[in-house]
Each structure stands twice: as C-alpha cells, then as structure tokens.
C-alpha cells in the first residue's frame, strides 16, 4: 500500500507540471492532515469505545462500498473532502490502527470522537475528550512518527508543515440536555479552546484550520420544536454567534502571540445558514428535516431500523444533528474552490 502511494506520487510528480490539472493541487505541499474534534469529523474512533459509534446502516450508505464506518453521515465528512483536496489519503481513525500500522502512517491520523467537546467534562464517559485526543497525538509524535523520521529535525519539519483540523465546541453548549448560552460561558469556552490550541502549538503544530460552531438552533432536533415548525431556534444561534465572533478574534490574537502560527478560519455556521436559504440552488431542497429517519413523526433518532430518504443529495441534514455528504461536499467546494466559507491568515492552501 505504501509503495503504491509512493509510486503514485512519483508518477504525479513527473506528470503534473506538464498538465493543466496542476492548478487543481494546493500551491504548497501538505505532508499530513491531523484531525481533532467531534462527530462532524469522527471517522470511526468511537466504534472502538464501549459506547460505540454510528456503525450501522443507513450511516455510510453512500460511503465507497456502502458500508458504515462510524462516520455520522451517509458518506464522506468535511475532513475526508479536505484530505482529498490536499491530495492525501483519507485519515484513518487512531483507535482503529494497530501500533504496527501507526508506525507506518505519515500522511495523517484522525483522533476525533463523536460527542466530545472542548471541555474535559463534556461527554467524557462516551467519547475521547479533546485532551485525550491531543494526548494520543503526543503519543504519535513520541512513539510512532520517530519510526519514519529518524532525525529529530525531520520530524519537527513534518509536524510544522502538516495541517491540523479542529472542529469542536457545539457539544459543550449542551450540558446534560440543557443549553448553556450566557456570555460568561462563551468566554470560558474560548479560554479553554485557546489552551488546547496552544498545547498543540507547543507540540510543533503551526498550520491550523478551525471550524466555528454550527447553528445548532437549526438542527432538526431543535427545528422540530419551533413554531412555525422547521424554523431555527434563534436564541441558541444568537449565543453561538457570540462565541463565533470572539473565536475569530482569539485566533488573530494567537497569531500575533505565537511565532509561525497560521490558520484558516472556516465558517461552518455561515455555510449552514446560507444553505437553508439557497440550498435549492445546489439541489438541496429539504433544508430542515433529517434524511434519516425519513419522517418527522415519532422518534427523530436515526436507528438501524430507520428508513432513510431515497435521495440523500436533496437533504441538508442526514440525521437530527449532522449534515449529509452533499452538504459536506458543498462546504469543501465553497471553502477551497470558491473561497467564500474559508478565510486564510498566513496559511495558503488554495
């Protein structure tokens, strides 16, 4: 497999400069993608926890061979589309790799865990907290990567050139089912995410891409309770908007305080709100009901026995919390190609 990729890269290196498709590749080569966060980007880590992940159909129904992987959607996640954009293999879940396999992966690993948040007490009984995810990454640096980068300098260069994708925060807002939306909580959460980004920086990370928090008030789980039904709960969205505004400031502050720190700010919130308005332009005509189950009468939970909508590409949400693959795909397209969802600050990937 590794030889296969090497050969492929060799061939691409020869062919690309001559072909017009070279422009489709990022201007700077990114050697690896490391992913942290929650169910928006988990690709199977929770399958290896006692609580389990969404490892049953119809999750994964549109993923490569139509198999569930633990991704909380019908196909690929935003992290998958990001890897594809970078010309990298999809990141494997850390917990799904044997130590032997971990010693041989130098193109990135996914540590994300559905249910997790920024705070150590958010769903820590059923998911890998962000602290734990960073601990596992630390283990990758100390135990696995040195098997491939024998010189310390080489290893540091690899980490500093790699991309760190962080997508988290929404689960912290819901504590034991209740929404915590005041400003002091937002400031607390911002200081906690800052600490974790600094820890990653301390481990050598320099290139970050951060999602802001999605408009949870528009999730089907919330929109079903509003009147008229399907409207977003703007009280929830307002609190999240406050956090999101400050997040951008926090990232700029980090950049001025930490030498070499670069980032892309990805506006997941703005994207989902925009899709609710103009999704039909992209064929996404159902912008609030989930695809799975394909009814809003009864339990909104997507279960093994649930019948999904026949055409997943017409739905913004796959289940009551998660975007469908088509939404993830449009997100990546608007981020990397149209350049409207994502703004880069010192980190040019497109």
Q: Active-site residues: which are they?
A: 39, 319, 322
| Nearest approach, Cβ of residue 50 and ligand NAG (Å) | 15
The values of phi and psi at residue 107, to 5°, are -110, 10
Burial letters 306-335, b for 16+ CB under 10 A, else e: bebbeebbbbbbbbbbbbbbbbbbbbbebb
Q: Minimum CB separation from ligand NAG for residue 125, in Å? A: 7
The dihedral built from the CA positions of residue 189, 195, 196 and 197, taken in this order, carries a sign that is positive
Q: Which is nearer to ligand NAG, 242 or 282 (CB)?
A: 242
DSSP classification of residue 194: H
The nearer residue to ligand NAG, 98 or 176, going by C-beta atoms, is 176
Closest CB to ligand NAG among 3 and 178? 178
Q: Output 124 or 226, the one with its CB closest to ligand NAG.
A: 124
The one-character DSSP state at 112 is -
User: Which residue, 150 or 184, is less far from ligand NAG as judged by CB?
Assistant: 184
Least distance to ligand NAG from the beta carbon of 225, Å? Answer: 16
Strand partners, 208: 164, 263
Beta carbon of residue 132, minimum distance to ligand NAG (angstroms, whole number): 9
Q: Partners of 266 in the beta sheet?
A: 211, 342
Residues that bind ligand NAG (CB under 6 A): 120-121, 124, 176-177, 180, 182, 184-185
Closest to ligand NAG by CB, 119 or 145 = 119
Backbone angles phi, psi at 110, to 5 degrees: -110, 120
With beta carbons less than 8 A apart as the criterion, state whether 245 and 187 touch.
no
Please, what is the minimum distance in Å from the beta carbon of residue 129 to ligand NAG? 7
Q: Shortest distance, CB of residue 244 to ligand NAG, whole angstroms? A: 18
Rg of the Cα trace of the chain? Answer: 20
Task: For residue 253, count other CB atoms closer than 10 A to its CB.
Answer: 11
């Amino acid at each position: 497999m590794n030889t296969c990729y090497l050969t492929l890269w060799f061939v691409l290196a020869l062919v690309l400069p001559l072909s017009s498709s070279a422009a489709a590749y990022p201007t700077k080569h990114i050697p690896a993608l490391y992913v942290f966060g929650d169910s928006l980007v988990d690709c199977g880590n929770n399958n290896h926890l006692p609580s389990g992940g969404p490892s049953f159909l119809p999750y994964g129904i549109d993923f490569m061979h139509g198999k569930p992987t633990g991704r909380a959607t019908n196909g690929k996640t935003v992290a998958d589309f990001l890897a594809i954009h970078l010309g990298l293999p999809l990141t494997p879940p850390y917990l799904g790799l044997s130590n032997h396999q971990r010693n041989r992966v130098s193109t990135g690993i996914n540590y994300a865990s559905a249910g997790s948040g920024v705070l150590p007490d958010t769903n820590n009984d059923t998911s890998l907290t962000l602290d734990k995810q960073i601990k596992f990454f630390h283990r990758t640096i100390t135990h696995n990567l040195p098997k491939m980068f024998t010189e310390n300098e080489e290893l540091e260069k690899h980490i500093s050139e790699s991309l760190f994708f962080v997508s988290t925060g929404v689960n912290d807002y819901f504590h034991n089912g209740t929404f915590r939306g005041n400003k002091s909580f937002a400031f607390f959460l911002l200081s906690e995410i800052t600490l974790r980004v600094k820890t990653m920086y301390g481990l050598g990370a320099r290139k970050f891409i951060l999602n802001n928090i999605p408009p949870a008030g528009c999730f089907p789980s919330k929109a079903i309770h509003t009147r008229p039904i399907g409207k977003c709960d703007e009280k929830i969205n307002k609190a999240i908007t406050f956090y999101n505004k400050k997040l951008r400031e926090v990232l700029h502050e980090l950049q001025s305080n930490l030498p070499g720190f670069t980032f892309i700010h990805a506006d997941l919130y703005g994207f989902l709100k925009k899709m609710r308005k103009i999704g039909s332009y992209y064929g996404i005509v159902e912008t609030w009901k989930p695809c799975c189950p394909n009814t809003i009468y009864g339990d909104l939970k997507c279960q093994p026995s649930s019948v999904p909508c026949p055409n997943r590409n017409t739905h913004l949400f796959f289940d009551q919390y998660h975007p469908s693959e088509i939404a993830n795909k449009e997100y990546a397209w608007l981020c990397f190609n149209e350049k409207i969802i994502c703004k880069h600050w010192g980190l040019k990937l497109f």
